[in-house]
Amino acid sequence: MRLPLLARTLAIAAVAVAILVPIAMIDGKIAERRARADGVVSEFASQTSGPQLVVGPLLALTCEETYVAERQVMRSGKAETISETRTRACPTAFVAPRSLEANASVPVENLHRGIYSIRMYRADLTLQGELEWPRPPRPAGQAVRAWKDAYVVTFLQDPRGIKAVSSAISNELLAATGEPGLAAFSIRESLGPYAARGPGAVVPFLYRIDLVGTSSFAIAPVGDRNHIHIGSDWPHPSFAASWSPDRRAIGPRGFDADWRMTSVATGGSGRWNELAQGGKLASANAAGLSLFDPVNVYTLSYRATQYAFLFVLFTFAALALAEVLSGVRLHPVQYALVGSALAVFFLLLIALSEHVPFEWAYSGAAAACVALLTFYLRHPLGSPRRTALFFAIFVALYGSLYLVLQSEDDALLLGSLMVFALLAAIMVATRKLDWAAIGARLARGTRPTPPPAQRTAG
């Protein structure tokens, strides 16, 4: 069946839209595989240790409140009021250190579970600084409060990752206890009764912690003055915590980062006391990093499918232009088969990238599809010259997409320039065509008359 120009254009457009359906299905498959990979990482974290947040050390002071309770008793038939002095526990107070110096070395190890990659680190963490003994607590109405026992406590988001702890005095891993406010802490060091030291006394601390975790690592700046240093051999940190580093040095062999801040920026001791008493230290603001992977195969594959319409647009436009300029006749079924080959590229890309580096996967999938498309179009195009031209178009197309994937910040700009270049090329190539005559010719099924410059003499 021979179609006029408008009907033929609509048919080709319908095929192009239909090709986007399997590409959308491939997009869903990428999301499914990505969810599976995230599930493997979460499963590994549940069996070992997850992301780590370190909050502390904090000085914890258990509290006892003495108050007068009145009750009525009957004596000789008369009601009398009796006053009794009683004691009860009051909320544990948490005091931030005067200074905190945190230093962490975070080497990263790549593990594999099946085809999925897992990044695990083993941090060598040092926490040192000074705690200042506070004044006695203020009375609460008529009740008198007093500090009883003092502890140095440190919160870790996933205590299963603690492999070793050493302290200048002693340390113990906190088991379940009945002491209010302390059960949420992973490390506790007793400093004895509050009365053993006077207000203003300075207590230095030094902790060394061997800590395992995955995905991210952060340290809360709990001191009035804080200096946090984190170094690692991971070359792609994402400083996505509450504070950006004051100094960073990132290279192929890893990074070093430093944070300096005071209680003015963090909220001070009152803020940490509020979070600790409310059991909300897991949501504390911190300085740290996530182990970002710039060549995440699922992210790159997903981004590639977002530009799939450019593949279909460029290829179908080139084929349509060949029909108009060279008299090549292609059936909509041939457009559908070419579009299917374009769609299969994205399926090959995600499948290969799970087993080999993304660059190799992209090169292999692109080479296979370019070879298939060139071989298939060799017959309908009818000439080696046209076939070579389409081969060059496909190579340029896949090469351009790879550049777009590697230039995330400039992806929209590059894609827009590609669309503009395509439109400009079509307009320049067809600026002298008589579209009415072409439509009539397509309706009659005749081939185009060569331009005057190409007619043979005689």
> Which residues have C-beta within 8 Å of that of residue 171, sequence separation ≥ 6?
165, 187, 188, 189, 207
Look at residue 115 and give its three-state secondary structure. coil
Look at residue 418 and give its three-state secondary structure. helix
Name the pTM for this structure.
Answer: 0.70
Of 236, 302, 354, give the one whose Cα is nearest residue 23: 302
CA distance 101 to 219: 11
Compute the half-sphere exposure of residue 173: CA atoms within 13 Å on the CB side of its CA: 10
CA distance 200 to 204: 13
Name the amino acid, one letter, at 87.
T
Token pair of 363 as six digits: 């090169």
**Residue 109 near residue 119, CB atoms below 8 Å:** yes
CA distance 458 to 413: 51
User: What φ, ψ does residue 349 adopt, rounded to 5°?
Assistant: -60, -50
293 to 117, 235, 300, 301, 346: CA distances (angstroms): 11, 9, 11, 14, 21
Tens of pLDDT along 169-218?
Answer: 665 555 444 455 676 788 888 888 988 888 888 989 999 999 999 888 99
Tens of pLDDT along 264-287?
Answer: 888 888 899 999 988 888 888 999
User: What φ, ψ does residue 317 adopt, rounded to 5°?
Assistant: -65, -40
Q: pLDDT higher for 49 or 94?
A: 94
Of the candidate ranges 62-76, 122-136, 376-390, the one whose mean pLDDT is the lowest = 62-76
Bridge partners for 130 per DSSP: 99, 204
Residues in the chain: 458
Predicted confidence (pLDDT) at residue 440 exceeds the cutoff of 90: no
Question: How would DSSP label each residue in 164-210?
Answer: EEEESS--EE----SSTTTTT-SEEEEEEEGGGS-TT-EEEEEEEEE
User: What φ, ψ does residue 453 adopt, rounded to 5°?
Assistant: -65, -20
User: Can you tell me which residue has the tokens 């909050």?
Assistant: 55
Residue 101 has a pLDDT of: 95
Residue 128 has a pLDDT of: 94
> Which residues have C-beta within 8 Å of that of residue 143, sequence separation ≥ 6?
65, 66, 67
Of 64, 80, 77, 126, give the one whose Cα is nearest residue 101: 126
> Which residues have C-beta within 8 Å of that of residue 311, sequence separation ≥ 6?
342, 345, 397, 401
Residue 458 has a pLDDT of: 36
- pLDDT band at residue 445 using 50, 70 and 90 as cut-offs: low
Using H for helix, E for strand and C for coil, what is the string for 428-443? Answer: HHCCCCCHHHHHHHHH
Predicted confidence (pLDDT) at residue 318 exceeds the cutoff of 80: no
Of 222, 63, 194, give the one whose Cα is nearest residue 133: 194
Burial (CB < 10 A; 0-12, 13-18, 19+), residue 29, is middle
Of 409, 47, 49, give the one whose Cα is nearest residue 215: 49
Tens of pLDDT along 29-85?
Answer: 888 887 887 777 777 777 778 889 999 899 999 988 887 776 776 666 676 667 677
Predicted confidence (pLDDT) at residue 399 exceeds the cutoff of 90: no
Name the amino acid, one letter, at 236.
H
